[in-house]
Amino acid sequence: MKRLALFLLLACFTALAGAQNSLRIYRDAANGFATYVRGAPSYIDARVLAANVNETITVATGANAVIFSATCAAFYAIIGPTAAVPAADVTNGTASELNPAAWFVGTATQIGIIAPGACIVTLSWYSVAP
């Protein structure tokens, strides 16, 4: 699922060539087809999460997209300051997302992340054309 989401993110956004934190899709030198290999990010955050403790992350300056990676089997994220591990049904649209692969965050300024167990989550920040 994470690979599909990452593929869709990479396939849907045009790169901003030369911009700091830009997400570029490189072309195959032989025939010009997209490789779907992304350039290394110039800004990465790493958060060491304690079990069931929310961490609020500030969106990197100039970034509007993020790619997540984690050492744990489950973490939750939400646009806004406070993510939560569901303890019961959430049916009003406010639940945190389980294991997001990548997000377009637009003009959001904060992301909340939490995990039911201790783990490390990295956030690779990019600037993409909306």
pLDDT at 24 over 90: no
Instruction: Tell me the pTM.
Output: 0.77
What pLDDT is stored for residue 16 in this prediction?
A: 33
What pLDDT is stored for residue 31 in this prediction?
A: 78
Query: Quick check: helix, strand or coil at residue 121?
Result: strand
Instruction: Provide, rounded to the nearest whole percent, the portion of the chain with pLDDT above 90.
Output: 66
68-105 tens-digit pLDDT: 999 999 999 999 999 999 999 999 999 999 999 999 99
Domain with 92, as residue range(s), is 2-126
What pLDDT is stored for residue 85 in this prediction?
A: 98
Identify whether the C-beta of residue 62 lies closer than 8 Å to the C-beta of residue 22: no
Domain CATH number, residue 16? 2.60.120
Q: What total of structural domains would you count in the chain?
A: 1
